[in-house]
Structure 1
Amino acid sequence: MSALEGASALLLSSSATPVLACVTALFLLAFVSQRFSSPQDGRKEPPGPRPLPLLGNLLQLDLTWLDRALCQLAKHHGSVFTVYMGTRKVVVLAGYKVLKEALVGHAVEFGERFITPIFHDSNHGHGILFANGDSWKDLRRFALSTLRDFGMGKRLAEEKILEECRHLIPIFESHKGQPFDTTSPLSHATSNIICSIVYGNRFEYSDRRFIAMVKRINESVRMTGSFQIQLYNMFPRLLSWVKHRRMVLSNRDDSMKDVQELLRQRKEKLNPQMCTGLVDCFFVRKQKEEEACVEESHFNEKNMMFVVGNLFAAGTDTTATTLRWALLLMAKYPQIQERVHAELSSVVGSRLMDVEDRKNLPYTNAVIHEIQRFANIVPMAIMHQTTQDVTFQGYFIEKGTSVIPLLTSALYDESEWETPNTFNPSHFLDKEGNFVKRDAFLPFSAGRRVCLGEGLARMELFLFFTSLLQRFRFTPPPGISEDELDLKPLVGFTLNPMPHRLSAVTR
C-alpha cells in the first residue's frame, strides 16, 4: 500500500468533518510553509529524494514496509542520506560499516534518543527507553547494575529460565501433537523471566492480570508501528484523533494501574536487607536519596513505574517474537531442524540443558544467530538524534537531527553476507563447521543505546530454543506443506510472523 492510498483509507474511515478540517489545514499549511531549511554556509548535507512542501517524502515511501523502502533509497542515494517525514528531516544510516562508525565511533554525537510523538505521549520522558539526559543515564546505569546483580548473564538467570521451561513444556505437550498458536505460551514464558528479575516472582499462565498485561504489550507494540501511528508521528497536531493512538494510550493507562498495584504489594513486603528484585532495589535507592535530600533525584515513583513498564515490554515482545520465528523456521526447513536434533542428541542427550553447552553446539548456535539475522525483528531500531553538529562521511548533520539506524541494511548487507535473503545457518560456520562471530550481526543495535538486556536475551533464546527442540519436532498443521508456510512478516514496531499454528510432536 502506498502512503497516498493509506492516507486515503485512513481519511475515508472517519467522519467528513475531521477529514475536511485536515484537508483544509494541509492546504493552508502548504501555502504558508517555508522551504526546507539547509545550511547557508555551503556545507554539504546528505543527499536524498526531493521533498514536497509539508508532506516531505511521504508520497515516495511505503510506510507499511518502511525499512525496505529506505534500503531501496540507499541504493540510489548512498549509505548516508536524508528523507523528510512530513516536515521533519531524518538522516538514514545504511550498511554495517556506516552503522558501526556512527553508533560506536561517534557514540556521543549519535547517542541521543529521538522521541516520536507517540512515545512522548505514552512516556513523557520517564523511564529508560524513551528518555535522554541525566535521568536516562542514572536510570540506565541503575538498571544495568541491578539486572546483573539478579542474574543477567549469570547462573541465577539460567536457573530462572530453566525453571520456566519446566512450566512451558507441559503447555506444548498438552496439545498432543495437534496444531496450536505458539504466541501466548512463548509470550508468557519470556515475560515471566523479566518479571522474576524485576518483581522477584513469576506469574502463573492462568493469572488474569498477567494475561491482560502481556496481551496489552503485544497489542501496543504492534500498533506503534502501524500506518496510522506513523502518520500521526508526522502530523501530530492534525491526527491526534486516530484510533490506534487512543488505544495505545488506553493500554498504557491500564498497564500503569496494574504496575502501581504490583509496586504497592512489593512495598508492603519490602525488606531492605534482602531485596528480591529490581523493584525492591529501586525502593531502597529512592529512600536513601530522600533521606540524603538529593536534589532533583530521578528515583521517584513515576520513573519507577516507567522503568518497570519499559523492561516488561522489551523483555516480553522481542524475545517471544524471535522464538516464534525460530519454531516457524524449523517447521519451514525440516532438514535444518533435523541437524539441530542430531547435534542436541549427540552432545546433550536427554539431560537438562546448560548454557555452557552452547560452545559444544556450533550448528545449533549458528541456527539461533541466523534466526535473529533473518527475522530482523527490529528493522530500524528506535530512532536516534544527534547531540551536536557533526560532520560524518563528509556530510554536515546539524544538532537535533533525527536519525534512523537502519539495522535491516546491516543484517541483509550484500557485502557482508553470502546469501543475505536466504535462511542459511552457514553464515555463522567456518569450513570445519565451527561457529564464527560476524561483525555485521547487529540485532541488538550498538553503541550507547544498545539493548540493555542483550545478555539476558541471548541466554533466553539459547535455553528456550534448545529445551523445546530437545523434546519436540515442529511441523506444519496437517494438510499444509512446508512450502506453504508464510514467512512474510506482520509489520508493527517489531516484525512478527503472520498468525499461524504449528504442531509440536514429542520426539
Structure 2
Amino acid sequence: MSSYVGANYVPSFLIPVLIVIGTVYWLWKKEMARVPGPRGLPVIGNIPQVIGGRFDHKLQRFRDRYGNIFRVKLGEMTTVFVFGLKNIQDVLLGPEENFEMRPNWLYIPDKVIQKKGIIWTNGEMWQRMRDITTTTQTSPDSSQHTEKQTMAEVNHVVDLLNKGSESDGSGVDPNSLFSSSTFNILSAFVFGQRFDVTEKDYSLLKDGIADITERNKTQNPVNMFPSLGACMKRKRDEAIVKENDLFVILKKYLISHENRCCHGNASLDLMDTFIQQKEHGKETDQETENNFLRSILDLYIYGSEMTTSLLLWTIVYLVRYPDVQRKCQEEMDSVVGDRDVSSNDKANGSLPYCVAVLKEILRISSPAVMTTLHTNKKSSIVDGYMISGRSLVVCDLHKPRFDDTIWEDPFEFRPERFFSQLSETQERVASLSFGLGPRCCPARKLSDTTHFLYSMNLIRHFHIQHHDKNIQIPLTSDYKGVSLKPRPFRVVFKPRGFPGSRG
C-alpha cells in the first residue's frame, strides 16, 4: 500500500490553524501600520495633555515617546504630526503631490472663511491666487516699486528712532515698531503705497486683521468640536461680518486701482496684477474676486506676523553678538558708503558676510515651528505607518535645523557656515521655515527682501544694544499667534553718526 498522501488530503485541524495564523498576521500588520499616539479621554481626547502653553515643547515629549510619526486627538480632530527630514520630504515633496490639499472642511475654514483665500482654497482657485502672488513678486516693475516703498518705511523708522535717541536710556520694545513696519511693507506690495499710522484705513485694517486672526485660529474649539457649531452661530456671524467689513475697505482700493489702471501699463503691486489678469480674461467672476480679497487678508495674517518675528530675532542675535553686528557694519561701510543698502547688493554678492548672517539667523531662530494643516487625497504610507486619506497632517519645521547629521554644531550661532558651498540637504533645511513643495510660503521672495533691506539699513544707521549693558539679551521665546517670537525685550538704538547718515 502506498504511503503517498494525495494533494487533496488536508488534515481537518490545519484549516482553522491557517485561518488563525493569517488573522493574527493581518492584525499584527494593521497594528504595525497604525499611527501611535497618547491615550486620550472620551470626547475631549488629548486636550488636557496639551493645554497650558508651549505646545511645541509638549509635542516634543510625544515625539520622544512615540517616534517621528504620532497622532494627537483634540476633541473630534485627530491630527498626525510628522517629524524627521526624510518623513517631512515624503509628505511635502511626495509623489503625485498627495498632501498638497488643505482640510477646508473644518468648521472655521468652511463656515467662517468659506474656503476662500490663498491658504484654504484647493485646486485651480488656489493655483490662481498663488500665480498672482508669484507674478507680482517676480515682476521687475513691481519689485522696484515695492523696494522703493520699503525704503520709505525704513527711512521713516530711522527718523523716528533718531528723534527718540535722547531718551532716558531705558530703550524701546521694537515689537510694535516692527509690526507697524511689516504691515506697511505688505501694504506697499498689495496697494502700491504705505500708510501713515494716523490714517483711518490703517487702523481699521490692522485692528480688523488682528481680530479675525484671533477668531480664526485652527485651535479654535469649534474646529475640535464641530457639533458646537449650532451653539456658536452668533460668533460665526460676527466673524463673517468682520471679514466683510475688511472686504469693503479692500474693495475700495481695488476700484481705485481699476479707475487709474490703463491697459498695457506696468504692474506695480498685487492689485495691478489682478486687474491685468482680469483684463486678459483670466479673472472675471465674483468668486475669484472674493478669493483674491481673502488672499490679501491671508498675506497680512501670516506674512506680517512671521516677518515681525524674524526681525525681532534678528535684533536679538545682532545684540547678543556685537562683533557680528560690527562686522556687518564694516562690510556695508566699505561697499555702500553713504547710500542705502539695496537688493542689488544682495543679488550681486557684494555683501557676503551680511547675507550669511541673515541666513544663519533664519536657520537658528526661524519663527515657523509647524506647517499649516495639510490633508491627503488618498491613503499613504510614511515611515511604515499608514496615514489614511483625508487625514489632518502637520509637519515639523523646527527640529531639522538642529540636526547634527546635517549641521556641524547646529546650536552654535555661526554665520561662517554659509561661506562654503552647502549640500542640497543643507540648502533645503536652511530655508525650511518657508515650507517645501507646492504649499510653501507664496510670499517668500517678498519676505527675504524685506528681511535684508530692513535689517541691514537699520544697523547701518544704528549701534543696537541691550538697554541694560550688564545683562545678556535672552534667547527665550513664546509661541504666539502663528509664530515663535522672542519674549519682550528693550534695546537702545544709538545713531552711528557716519557721513550721510540720517542722524
Tell me if TM exceeds 0.5.
yes
Deviations along 1:14-45, one digit per CA (max 9) or x if unpaired, are xxxxxxxxxxxxxxxxxxxxxxxx99983712
Shift of 1:52: 3.1
Does residue 300 (structure 1) correspond to residue 291 (structure 2)? The answer is no
Name the counterpart of 1:501. Answer: 490
Name the counterpart of 2:257. Answer: 266
Match of 2:113 among 119, 123, 127: 123
Shift of 1:473: 1.2
Mapped partners of 1:39, 1:161: distance in 2: 60
Name the counterpart of 1:182. Answer: 174
Alignment of 1:306-385 (within 5 A): 306-358=294-346, 359-385=349-375
Q: CA RMSD in A?
A: 3.4
Paired residues of 1:177 and 1:503 also in contact (CA < 8 A) = no
Shift of 1:407: 0.8
Q: Relative to 1, partners in 2 of residues 1:504 and 1:253: Cα closer, same or farther, differing over 3 Å?
A: farther
Paired residues of 1:222 and 1:491 also in contact (CA < 8 A) = no
Name the counterpart of 1:65. Answer: 54
Q: Relative to 1, partners in 2 of residues 1:215 and 1:341: Cα closer, same or farther, differing over 3 Å?
A: farther
Name the counterpart of 1:169. Answer: 158
Paired residues of 1:107 and 1:448 also in contact (CA < 8 A) = no
TM-score of the two chains, using structure 1 as the length reference: 0.79
Name the counterpart of 2:71. Answer: 82
The structure with more radius of gyration: 2
Alignment of 1:485-500 (within 5 A): 485=474, 487-500=476-489
Mapped partners of 2:226, 2:85: distance in 1: 32
Mapped partners of 1:443, 1:160: distance in 2: 26
Q: Which amino acid aligns with 2:178?
A: L
Mapped partners of 2:335, 2:439: distance in 1: 37
Deviations along 1:360-399, one digit per CA (max 9) or x if unpaired, are 3333223212322333312112111112111222221111
Q: Which amino acid aligns with 2:92?
A: L
Alignment of 1:23-34 (within 5 A): none
Paired residues of 1:177 and 1:506 also in contact (CA < 8 A) = no
Shift of 1:220: 4.7
Mapped partners of 1:380, 1:471: distance in 2: 35
Shift of 1:98: 1.9
Q: Relative to 1, partners in 2 of residues 1:286 and 1:157: Cα closer, same or farther, differing over 3 Å?
A: closer
Shift of 1:125: 0.7
Q: Which amino acid aligns with 1:326?
A: T
Q: Relative to 1, partners in 2 of residues 1:323 and 1:87: Cα closer, same or farther, differing over 3 Å?
A: same
Q: Using the TM superposition, name which of 49-58 and 213-222 deviates more.
A: 213-222
Paired residues of 2:101 and 2:375 also in contact (CA < 8 A) = yes
Q: Secondary structure at the match of 2:386?
A: strand
Residue-pair matches, total: 459
Q: Which amino acid aligns with 1:376?
A: S
Mapped partners of 2:215, 2:491: distance in 1: 25
Shift of 1:456: 1.6
TM-score of the two chains, using structure 2 as the length reference: 0.80
Shift of 1:151: 5.1
Q: Relative to 1, partners in 2 of residues 1:71 and 1:363: Cα closer, same or farther, differing over 3 Å?
A: farther
Paired residues of 1:286 and 1:299 also in contact (CA < 8 A) = no
Match of 2:91 among 81, 102, 106: 102
Mapped partners of 2:322, 2:302: distance in 1: 30
Name the counterpart of 2:187. Answer: 195
Q: Which amino acid aligns with 1:323?
A: L
Gaps of 5+ in 2: 1-25, 497-503
Shift of 1:137: 1.9
Q: Using the TM superposition, name which of 396-405 and 406-415 deviates more.
A: 406-415
Paired residues of 2:54 and 2:478 also in contact (CA < 8 A) = no
Does residue 46 (structure 1) correspond to residue 38 (structure 2)? The answer is no
Q: Secondary structure at the match of 1:143?
A: helix
